[in-house]
DNA sequence: CGTACATTTCGTCATCGGGCGAAATGTAGG
DNA sequence: CCTACATTTCGCCCGATGACGAAATGTACG
C-alpha cells in the first residue's frame, strides 16, 4: 500500500504532473524544466527528487548538467499504471499545452544560454493559481 | 489538471484507499466502515466526503443509515482510470486483506448492533503506524 | 588551484491535511 | 414533541508539504 500511496502522491501534485508530461517529449535537464515551470531551482530539484524516489524518473549526469528522463522500468509496481493515466484528458489541459509550447521554444535555445533566460524571467509563467485572491488575514 | 489532482489525492491517502477497496465488496454504511477502520466517526465521514467530492463514491440515505457505494459513473474523467489501479498488487496487501477479513465478520452482525461493537473497540484495529508516535489514550 | 556554473541540500516559513471531540443535523419511534 | 442514534460540521492540534534563499556540492575549464 505504501508504494501505491507514494506513486499517487508523487504524480498528484500539479507541478510534478507538469514535469511528467514534459518528460514525455524526451529527457530534459533541470534548467530546462525550471525555465518552463518558473520556479526556484531548489524547488524544481526537490520535485524531481520526489519523482525519482517514487520511481517515475531516472537521472543521468552529463558534465555540469543533470538530465532527467521517464524511467523505462520502475521497482514501484504502480508507477506504470499511473503513467498510463497521464495520457488521458490531461493532453488537452491548458497548462500542459502551454508547457509544451514553451518547451518547443526552449528546445531551440542552446543549453548554455537557458539559465540566463531564466534569470530574466522571459519564458517562465507560473501555474494559474486556484484561489486567486482568497487569502485569510 | 485539477480533476487529475483531486482524483489522485483522494485515492492516494491510505485510509481512503482502504475505503475504496472495502467498497469493492458492495455498498456499506458509515458505521460499518468505521468499525473496520477503527477511526472516529467524524474522521471517517470526512474521508467519505473527500471521496464523494472527487467522484469516487455515491451516497444513499436509508433511515438513520447512510450507505456509500462506488460510483458507477463519475463526472471526473480520471476516476475510472484510478479505480483500475486499485486492482493490482493492492489485492495482496496485508492491510487490505485484513480489512476484507474483518468485513466478512462484520457482515454477519446485524446493522443495529454494529455501533455498540464499535464503542467496545472489538473489531477495530488501526492501520499499522509508520512512526509509532505517542497518542494519548 | 581557483573560478564559474548547474544542481542539491539545508533552514525557514506558511499552508494543507488528517486526527480527534463537541456540537449540530436529520431521521425513526415512543 | 422528545428522545435515541447515525452521521456530518466545526474548531482545534500537530505533522507533512511546498515555496524560497543561502550555503554546500560537483564538474568543467582556464
Looking up residue A7, the CATH number of its domain turns out to be 1.10.10.10
Q: Read off the pLDDT of residues A81-107 as tens digits, 9 standing for 90 and up.
A: 999 999 989 999 999 999 999 999 988
Among B2, B3, B4, B74, the strongest candidate for a mutation testing the A interface, having the largest count of A CBs within 10 A, is B4
B46 is a domain residue: yes
A37 is a domain residue: yes
What dihedral do alpha carbons A60, A66, A69, A74 form, nearest 10°? 50
A99 is a domain residue: yes
Q: Which residue has the higher pLDDT, B104 or A123?
A: B104
CA distance B83 to chain A (A): 11
A64 is a domain residue: yes
Residue–nucleotide distance: A48 CA to C9 C1' (Å): 14
Lookup: cell for A47: 520535485
B28 is a domain residue: yes
Measured between beta carbons, the chain B residues lying within 8 angstroms of A3 are 89
Number of domains in chain B: 1
Plot region of A93 (φ>0 → left; ψ -120 to 50 → alpha; else → beta) = beta
**Integer Cα distance of A128 and A94 in angstroms:** 10
Nearest to B5 among A3, A4, A12 (CB): A12
A110 is a domain residue: yes
Cβ pairs A/B, distance under 8 A: 72
Cβ-based neighbours of A95, under 8 Å, separated by 6 or more: A14, A18, A127, A128, B1
B90 is a domain residue: yes
* pLDDT given at position A136: 34
Among B2, B3, B12, the strongest candidate for a mutation testing the A interface, having the largest count of A CBs within 10 A, is B12
* pLDDT given at position A81: 97
Q: Read off the pLDDT of residues B15-42 as tens digits, 9 standing for 90 and up.
A: 999 999 999 999 999 999 999 999 999 9
For chain C, which bases have at least one atom within 7 A of a protein Cβ? 4-11, 15-23, 26-28
B136 is a domain residue: no
Q: Read off the pLDDT of residues B28-81 as tens digits, 9 standing for 90 and up.
A: 999 999 999 999 999 999 999 999 999 999 999 999 999 999 999 999 999 999
Maximum Cα–Cα distance for chain B, whole Å?
44
Q: Domain range for residue B21?
A: 2-119
Maximum Cα–Cα distance for chain A, whole Å?
47
* pLDDT given at position A109: 72
Amino acid at each position: 500500500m505504501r508504494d501505491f500511496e507514494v506513486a499517487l502522491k508523487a504524480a498528484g501534485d500539479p507541478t510534478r504532473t507538469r514535469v511528467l508530461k514534459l518528460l514525455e517529449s524526451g529527457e530534459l535537464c533541470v534548467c530546462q524544466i525550471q525555465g518552463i515551470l518558473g520556479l526556484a531551482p531548489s524547488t524544481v530539484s526537490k520535485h524531481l527528487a520526489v519523482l525519482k524516489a517514487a520511481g517515475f524518473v531516472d537521472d543521468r549526469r552529463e558534465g555540469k548538467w543533470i538530465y532527467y528522463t521517464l524511467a523505462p522500468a520502475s521497482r514501484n509496481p504502480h508507477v506504470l499504471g499511473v503513467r498510463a493515466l497521464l495520457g488521458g484528458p490531461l493532453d488537452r489541459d491548458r497548462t500542459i499545452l502551454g508547457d509544451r509550447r514553451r518547451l518547443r521554444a526552449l528546445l531551440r535555445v542552446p543549453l548554455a544560454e537557458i539559465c540566463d533566460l531564466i534569470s530574466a524571467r522571459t519564458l517562465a509563467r507560473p501555474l494559474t493559481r486556484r484561489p486567486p485572491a482568497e487569502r485569510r488575514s
